Amino acid sequence: MNEGNVEPEVAIMSDPDITPAALDSVEESPVWLELNGAPVVTWMCTPDDLDALVIGWLFGEGYIESPRDILRMRPCTKELGFWVDLDPLRVAAVDGMSRRRILASGCGSVTAFLGTLADVPRRTGTVPPVDTPALRAVFKELFARGTRYKETGGIHAAALTDGHTLYHHAEDVGRHNAVDKVFGAALQAGHNPADLILLVTGRISGELAFKAARAGVAAVATPSIPSTIAVDIARAAEMLLIGRAVSGAPQLHKTPAAR
């Protein structure tokens, strides 16, 4: 689960209860999306839960607020890909935003936020108290559900929680893909991600923090640490970041209102 230097979650997830890796590679496939007839993205991803991936990505990019905004969604029968039709006004609104392609720290070339902190979506609700011992127990459940991690050791995971119950767990070779899958699964189940806690097993990068801010989550927690840009974005969004969340001394990057 590391990229470059070994991240703290590697040691954490080497739990004696987790069986040794049995496979020497992890599945990765290209999956494309055409929106209103135009190519918009190709994911390099773990090829499952793809409906959730598409819906979660559209939500995270601001194209939809719920699956009801999708006029039509069709999978390709010959290869891994999807055609999605949306209201052209929705597509035009997103395409008119100031975005540039960058080499992101988390997932290669993406379209990401590069504006000022004034552009970060701000949450309307207050950040609820976080029971960090309970959160460690939820992370333990997330690790226990890691089927692909147990098989390969080369996978990221994400989930949503209210701090006590684990919702919509997903694994993927890309950390952002895993986040999109849990957002998509939540929306498919009629569960709004807003005001929940997003759990991720890798570093919280700036682009992931902005994706979480767009979703309106109350907090993002990781066994690893956030980047400096992620901390700035979270403070602007009034969203809590929790680093080293399974350690005995979690790092809480609090919002201005919570200081």
pLDDT tens-place values along the chain, 259 residues long? 444 443 444 333 444 454 444 678 889 999 999 999 999 999 999 999 999 999 999 998 889 999 999 999 999 999 999 999 999 999 999 887 766 655 565 554 444 545 567 678 888 777 777 888 999 999 999 999 988 888 888 899 999 999 999 999 999 999 999 999 999 999 999 998 988 999 999 999 988 998 899 899 999 999 999 999 999 999 999 999 999 999 988 999 976 655 5
State phi, psi for 67 to the nearest 5 degrees: -60, -20
Q: At a CB cut-off of 8 Å and minimum separation 6, what does 145 contact?
A: 157, 159, 166, 169
Report how far Cα 72 is from the mean position of its chain's Cα atoms: 24
pTM: 0.84
**Domain annotation for the chain: domains and CATH numbers:** 1-259 (3.40.140.10)
Cα separation, 10 vs 201, in Å, equals 9
Cα separation, 244 vs 252, in Å, equals 9
Please identify which of the residues 107, 135, 142, 217 carries the catalytic annotation.
107
Active site residue 107: yes
Are 132 and 242 spatial neighbours (Cβ–Cβ below 8 Å)?
yes
Cα separation, 210 vs 54, in Å, equals 18
